[in-house]
Amino acid sequence: MPTVELTRFRVEPPRVPALLRARTAMLADFRADRVGFLDARLVRLPDDQWLDIVTWARPEDFAASRAKGANLPGIAAFFAEIAELVGAEEGTEPPIGEAG
């Protein structure tokens, strides 16, 4: 089952343009370096918060990515714009039509 990573973080308003510029390079680095990376969506929330929704093929892929951290410049640049990690969760995406 696909694994979904939900990361909520805060970005200071003056740093938002740099965060958005860094996003393209971060996603390119993920595609090049992260086995099982499927997609990512970035959502702007109230109070200078953002939610990053990242889908991985398997929980092991997400764990391996987490262990690598900001190992490439595009990933590091994106992370550098984050003022505060608010929360992080992991869940699974059940197949459509699966009960309970």
Q: Where are the beta strands (DSSP E) in the chain?
A: 3-10, 37-44, 49-56, 84-92
**In whole angstroms, what is the distance from residue 55 CA to residue 90 CA?**
10
Dihedral over alpha carbons 5, 52, 38, 94 (to 10 degrees): 50
Please state whether the predicted TM-score (pTM) of the whole model is above 0.85.
yes
Dihedral over alpha carbons 63, 64, 65, 67 (to 10 degrees): 90
Domain assignment of residue 8, yes or no: yes
33-82: pLDDT as tens digits: 999 999 999 999 999 999 999 999 999 999 999 999 999 999 999 999 99
Q: Which domain holds residue 7?
A: 3-91
Band of the pLDDT at 95, cuts 50, 70, 90?
confident
Domain assignment of residue 15, yes or no: yes
1-23: pLDDT as tens digits: 899 999 999 999 999 999 999 99
Domain assignment of residue 56, yes or no: yes
Number of domains comprising the chain: 1
The CATH number of whichever domain residue 59 belongs to comes to 3.30.70.100
Is residue 100 predicted with pLDDT exceeding 70? Answer: no
